[in-house]
Amino acid sequence: MRIVKLVMLFLLASVSVAMAQQKKKALLTAKISTPTVQCESCKNRIERYMSQEEGVESVKVDYKKHVTTVKYWDDRTNIENVKTGIANAGYDADNVTANPESYAKLPKCCKKPEDGGGMEKKKH
């Protein structure tokens, strides 16, 4: 009888754990302001970097509007991790400032105009 009770207790615990792990997954979409994104190179760099982040489904950067749209799974990551990922690539993301070491490694065209970067204007 004691063994039967232990087996029942084990089964009950297993079912409880399994139900707890079946948390609802949701694919969320976030639009993040990325004011320091200036060109196609910036776009490609962020999209390539973020495609390797856990839980990120897709990334689309609109460098003309300075907006990055990210689709991510809420059971694997959150919006703050997504913003931190963009900052780790070297770009500002909403209220998260770019990682200084990553920013320093960006090509000149991807840096802020006040740091001597930006797209060069062609002279006619």
* 6: in domain: no
Residue 12 in domain: no
- Would you say the pTM of this structure is higher than 0.85? no
Domain annotation covers residue 15: no
Domains in the chain: how many in total? 1
Domain range spanning residue 73? 27-110
Is the Cβ–Cβ distance between 99 and 90 less than 8 Å? Answer: yes
Please check whether residue 58 lies inside any domain of the structure. Answer: yes
Q: Give tens-digit pLDDT for 100-110.
A: 999 999 999 99
Please tell me the predicted confidence (pLDDT) of residue 114. 87
Q: What is the CATH number of the domain that holds 75?
A: 3.30.70.100
Question: Considering the domain boundaries, does residue 33 fall inside one?
Answer: yes
Q: Would you say residue 52 lies in a domain?
A: yes
Instruction: Give pLDDT, residue 9.
Output: 63
81 occurs within a structural domain: yes
Whether 71 is covered by a domain: the verdict is yes
CB 45 within 8 A of CB 90: yes
pLDDT digits (tens, 9 = 90+) for 11-34: 666 655 555 555 678 999 999 999
Task: Name which of 106, 109, 84, 81 is nearest 96 in CA terms.
Answer: 84
Extract the residue ranges of the chain whose pLDDT is less than 70: 1-2, 4-23, 119-124
Distance of CA 119 to the CA centre of its chain: 25
pLDDT above 90 covers a percentage of the chain that reads 69
**pLDDT value of position 123:** 41
